[in-house]
Amino acid sequence: MNKNSLSLKLLTFKESFIMGLVDWMPLSIGVRIRRILYKLILSKIGSNVNIQPYVQLVNPNCIELGNKVLIDRFARLKNAGRNSKLCIGDSVKINRGADIKVHTNGYFEIDESVIIGAYSCLSGLNIKIGKFTMLGPHTGIFANNHVFTNPFRHINEQGHTYKGITIEEDCWLGSGVKVVDGVTIGRGSIIGAGAVVTKSIPPYSIATGVPAKIVGNRQDIQKNGLGTFALSSSLNNLTDN
């Protein structure tokens, strides 16, 4: 066993031991103990971080948490390799059961005050989510695709392609929205519940449907003085976080 392999095994043991020791602890005492001990295994942990019981961290030395981050029960934050990076900004809220997976050599940036809805899934090589963006429950952000060009070979043996996904600041994605690889959702946009976003969306757009189509623009609504009633009417199938 070479030196690098031994160091990796010791690091993995330390991470597993600390998490196994305290990840189940309930109430505020558990939060405080995790806040102290997880400093030993996370790349960075800010002040007043609230990690609830049974949160799974995979390769936590590649995870950075800002101040006042909340991670609810049963969420999973996973770096597929030790050379990946997951950076979570201040005041981010990751709700119950959310699953975030950074692929090998990947980089995710979740900016400040982002809300990730319950049981959402973020997976791929490169994802950037701008500040104050809200993702409803069961949202899927998939910044990868399977290669399937050879019909005589199993799809799961043909590898992946990666382009990356950017969701700019102050967006709202309703419940069950799916975003595929290569898409940028412009600043201030709203995506209706259940929509599948296959193409980039310009800033301040309102988009619904499968595939998602633009049905309005927030700047036009403001300009024409239609107010929130018209906005609500055009989004009658959009649900909250």
Catalytic positions are 146
Two tokens, residue 220: 């036009």
Two tokens, residue 115: 């809300």
Contact between residue 6 and residue 12 where contact means Cβ atoms under 8 Å apart: no
What residues does 63 pair with on adjacent strands?
A: 86
Q: Which of left, alpha, beta for 158 (phi over 0: left; psi -120 to 50: alpha)?
A: alpha
Two tokens, residue 154: 């199993």
Secondary-structure percent of the chain, ordered helix, strand, coil, rounded to 5? 20, 30, 45
